Amino acid sequence: MKKYKRNQRIGALMKIFAERPNHLFSYNYFCKIFNAAKSTISEDVAIVKELVSELSFGRIETISGASGGAMFIPILSIEEEKEILSQLCSLFSQKNRILPGGFIYMTDIFNNPNIVMNIAKIISSEFSNEKIDYIVTVETKGIPVSLMTAQKLNVPLAVIRRNNKVMEGSTVSINYVSGSSNNIQTMSLSRRSLKDKAKVLIVDDFMKGGGTCKGMADMMKEFNADVVGTAVVIETKEPEKKLVDDYTSLLILNNIDAKEGIIEIEANSKLLK
């Protein structure tokens, strides 16, 4: 069987960790891949641990003992968060994004895997100390951000549908009031989506009145689930009072001046401390 050099094992370990953050890999798993003794792997992991810390990638957590293993927990530095948020502000405030009716075209941003991954890195960093079982979102535009956040936190995603679908099996449906438009809408979620007493992080792309997030929180009550946090990519400054109290936003949309073609958006300063 092939043997690998330390250099090669370090590189391979880092790839495996990076592709599946927050997952506990057993030392035995690595022993098999590298055809190496546990003591060797354990030294390799120590080197990876140091490099992850020195390069500010986050941290490696190790668990010792027979069933021991290691896990990579990516955490962004404040500098990286600042850089990502400032890139996002530039992107979202591009003049040509203003649509008739004073809306902003954001679809391309929320469907760009690299941008979405950067957003997910921030959200998952912010919630890296929480015990989370599921990410919950509502279709459609928030799905990519939510999926990438779920990937970073190594948990499944549950997608609430706007309509009842036959392929979802038995579902729970609720009516909710859209905070900004006062319309009554329906959302439904498959009964099989969440286990009982799950801890969930609600993720969405945009919050104005907060009605959708409030609806999702209400839905969670039907599933006996505990909402440990709510994260939205953009919140509007107005209305200041949202229908949910406890949420984290990455960006704040202060104003859209459709006539002048100016979108005023800024990083949420609460994040950067």
Instruction: Decide whether 165 or 197 has the Cβ nearer to a second copy.
Output: 165
CB of 183 to a second copy, least distance (A): 13
CB of 261 to a second copy, least distance (A): 15
Residues 164-183 that bind a second copy (CB under 8 A): 166-169
Q: Find the binder of a second copy among 18, 63, 78, 272 (CB under 8 A).
A: 18
55 binds a second copy (CB under 8 A): yes
Q: Find the binder of a second copy among 128, 188, 190, 248 (CB under 8 A).
A: 190
Q: Find the binder of a second copy among 193, 236, 248, 249 (CB under 8 A).
A: 193
196 binds a second copy (CB under 8 A): no
User: Where does this chain touch a second copy (CB under 8 A) — which range of 81-89, 122-130, 185-193, 238-246?
Assistant: 185-193
8 binds a second copy (CB under 8 A): yes
Residues 98-127 that bind a second copy (CB under 8 A): 99-101, 103-108, 111-114, 116-117
CB of 245 to a second copy, least distance (A): 26
The C-alpha atoms of residue 133 and residue 136 are separated, in whole angstroms, by: 10
Encoded one letter per residue, x for contact with a second copy by CB under 8 A and - for no contact, window 148-167 reads x-xx--xxxxxx-x----xx
Q: Would the CA dihedral through 45, 124, 94, 204 be positive or negative? A: positive
Place of tokens 């250099």: 7
Bridge partners for 266 per DSSP = 252
- Name the E strands within the chain: 25-26, 58-63, 69-74, 98-99, 103-104, 134-138, 157-160, 171-177, 184-190, 199-207, 226-236, 248-257, 262-267
Q: Which of 235, 229, 232 is nearest to 266 (CA)?
A: 235
In sequence order, the 6+-apart residues with CB closer than 8 A to the CB of 69 are 24, 25, 26, 27, 29, 62, 63
Instruction: Decide whether 155 or 263 has the Cβ nearer to a second copy.
Output: 155
219 binds a second copy (CB under 8 A): no
The C-alpha atoms of residue 195 and residue 254 are separated, in whole angstroms, by: 39
Q: String of b and e for 145-163 (b: at least 16 CB within 10 Å)?
A: bbbbbbbbbebebbbbbee
29 binds a second copy (CB under 8 A): no
- Strands 69-74 and 58-63, by their bridges, are antiparallel
141 binds a second copy (CB under 8 A): yes
208 binds a second copy (CB under 8 A): no
DSSP string covering 192-249: GGS-TT-EEEEEEEEESSSHHHHHHHHHHHHTT-EEEEEEEEEEESSSSS-S-SS-EE
CB of 180 to a second copy, least distance (A): 13
- Residues contributing to the site for a second copy (CB under 8 A): 2, 4, 6-8, 10-15, 17-20, 23, 33, 47-48, 50-52, 54-55, 57, 99-101, 103-108, 111-114, 116-117, 139-141, 143-144, 147-148, 150-151, 154-159, 161, 166-169, 190, 192-193
